[in-house]
Amino acid sequence: MAKKEAVRLSDHFTFARLARFTLPSVAMMIFTSIYSVVDGFFVSNFAGKGAFSALNLIMPVLMILCTLGMMLGAGGTALVAKTLGQGDKDRANRIFSLLIYTALIAGTALAAAGFLLMPRVAFLLGAREELLANCVVYGRIYLLGLPFMILMMMFQTFYPAAEKPRLGFLVTLGSGVSNMILDALLCTLLPAEGRLAGAAGATAFSQFAGAVFSLAYFSIKKDGLLRLGKTRFDGKALLKACFNGSSEFMTSISMSVVSMLYNGQLMQYAGEDGVAAYGVLMYVGMIFTAAFVGYSMGVSPPISFHHGAENTEELKNLLKKSLVICLAGGGAMALFGELFAPLLSRLFVGYDEGLYRLTLSGFRIVAVTYFFVGFCIFGSGFFTALNDGVTSAAIAFLRTVVFEIAFILLLPRLFGINGVWISCVAADATSFLLVGVFLFAKRKRYGLTL
């Protein structure tokens, strides 16, 4: 059987060709989320409810530190792919190298600062006694792998830009499998008091392994689109990449801040059980939304390339097909979430009937968000790919700061604990409308009249 021709950034994308190019990124992000969920599964079932609550309490802070990778990855990929579309491969490689080296240095500095401040941060989040100790243990071990986690986030976006989406998936697959194997071993063989630390160590090691392989690949590979090599400081390019990726940075930061607000509200209405229930919903939600994040990540390099090449017909083609995929996929995921809410809730917290009922009632409400979220994620990512950081950042800011915070502060006052879950739906439904307004308003600027 003849080998299929590789899909190039410069191609015309049919649904089939688009699927071939983006599915590795979709699978990569889904798998990344699955092995993150495995962490929660093993901690909840083998280290206990207290350790699981500590993990969920400190995780938003750790995710804030990882946002550097989201910003430089998404924003940098848009700039690099656009530069490739303009035909300047040498400059694209210099920018790529600069971004990777910058992330490694900055990630190391963030890890050191976080390690020192972890006890104080956990205390400010409300952790006390055993919960505080567990937060510090998990957080500090997790931070040992922070520079490599940041690099892995970046490489996940750069593999498609290098026309190597399948390799990106395989690297993530290898990293994730090693994480799950180590989780299973360390969370079952270690004494109970060491299992939370074991889960954190498994995550840190798996990210280290994936990042080191990627660094080696892009340093040695000579015939690909992208290669690590000599560079020089280019402040303008660095700022442009940061500005392009500001929406992803803002989304990640604000999602972590909003998670802290959700945890605070749930501590007030349901105590540690509320935090644990929210953790389950966030873990499962990661898998559902990861498909859309992966699609947006996979389709962004072709969008940036054709934008750089001033091929508006192909931009319109990619937009039309992406809207169909996101809306149809969102409907299917919302239905799946409603149907399988009991099974997914019991998988994590079936050992505690009260916690199970609390989780299930929240799941039934939050599953509605899956219809809206894909359209919102793609909308923000689409403008990032066009190097329109202002619009992308505006969508991200309104969605994850204004709407999320407003609803989480207001609705629980009206509906109690159900108001916490309704806040998720209200914020994404409002953002859905917002993205539609921006796409309509910007259609003429980019020649995207459908």
- Distance, in Å, from the CA atom of 209 to the CA atom of 178, rounded to the nearest integer, reads 9
Question: Which tokens sit at 378?
Answer: 């793609």
What is the DSSP track for 5-17?
PPP-TTS---HHH
For residue 268, CA distances in Å to 126, 387, 417 come to 12, 42, 9
Domain ranges of the chain: 15-441
Q: Is the pTM of this model over 0.85?
A: no
pLDDT score for 330: 92
Q: Give the residue from 422, 400, 399 showing the smallest Cα distance to 410.
A: 422
Rg of the chain over CA atoms, in angstroms? 21
pLDDT in the model for residue 372: 93
Contact 83, 91 (CB under 8 A): yes
From 78, 38, 245, select the one nearest 161 (Cα to Cα): 78
Q: Distance between CA atoms of 2 and 91, rounded to whole angstroms?
A: 35
Other CB atoms within 10 Å distance of the CB of residue 61: 22
pLDDT of residue 96: 93
Looking at residue 223, the DSSP 8-state letter turns out to be: S
- Let me know: does 257 contact 402? Beta carbons within 8 Å: no
Q: What are the structure tokens assigned to 104, written together?
A: 């490694």
HEC sequence for 115-141: HHHHHHHHHHCCCCHHHHHHHHHHHHH
pLDDT of residue 2: 44
Q: Nearest 5°: phi and psi at 412? A: -60, -30
* CA 177 – CA 89 distance, rounded (Å): 34
Q: pLDDT digit of tens for each residue in the chain (450 aa)? A: 445 667 788 888 889 888 888 888 888 888 777 766 777 778 878 887 778 778 878 887 888 888 888 889 888 888 998 898 888 889 999 999 999 999 999 999 999 999 999 999 888 877 788 888 989 999 999 999 999 999 998 998 898 888 888 888 899 889 888 988 998 898 888 888 888 888 889 989 999 999 999 999 999 876 678 899 889 998 899 998 888 887 777 776 776 677 777 777 777 767 767 777 777 787 777 778 888 988 988 898 889 888 888 888 888 899 999 999 999 999 999 999 888 888 888 877 777 787 888 888 888 898 899 999 989 989 988 988 888 878 888 888 788 778 888 898 889 888 888 888 898 899 999 999 999 999 888 887 766 665
Q: Which residues contact 186 (CB under 8 A, 6 or more apart)?
A: 194, 195, 198, 199, 201, 202
What distance in Å separates the CA atoms of residue 215 and residue 229, rounded to the nearest whole number?
A: 11
Residue 205, C-beta contacts closer than 8 angstroms, at least 6 positions apart: 145, 178, 179, 182
Query: Contact 306/446 with Cβ under 8 angstroms?
Result: no
Fill in the DSSP letter of residue 366: H
Residue 129 is predicted with a pLDDT of: 82
Does residue 161 contact residue 93 with C-beta atoms inside 8 Å?
no
Phi (first) and psi of residue 327, to 5 degrees: -70, -45
CA torsion through residues 133, 255, 166, 19, sign: positive
Distance CA 138, CA 279 (A): 15
CA-to-CA separations, 57 to 121, 212, 267, 362, in angstroms, rounded = 11, 29, 10, 18
Work out the number of other CB atoms within 10 angstroms of the CB of residue 267: 18
DSSP conformational letter for 310: T
Please list, in sequence order, all residues whose beta carbon lies within 8 angstroms of the beta carbon of residue 288, skipping any fewer than 6 positions away: 333, 336, 337, 370, 373
Q: What's the DSSP call for residue 225?
A: S
| Contact criterion met (CB below 8 Å) for 404 and 432 | no
Q: Which string of DSSP letters, residue by residue, matches 255-275? A: HHHHHHHHHHHHHHHHHHHHH
Find how far residue 213's CA is from the centre of its chain: 21
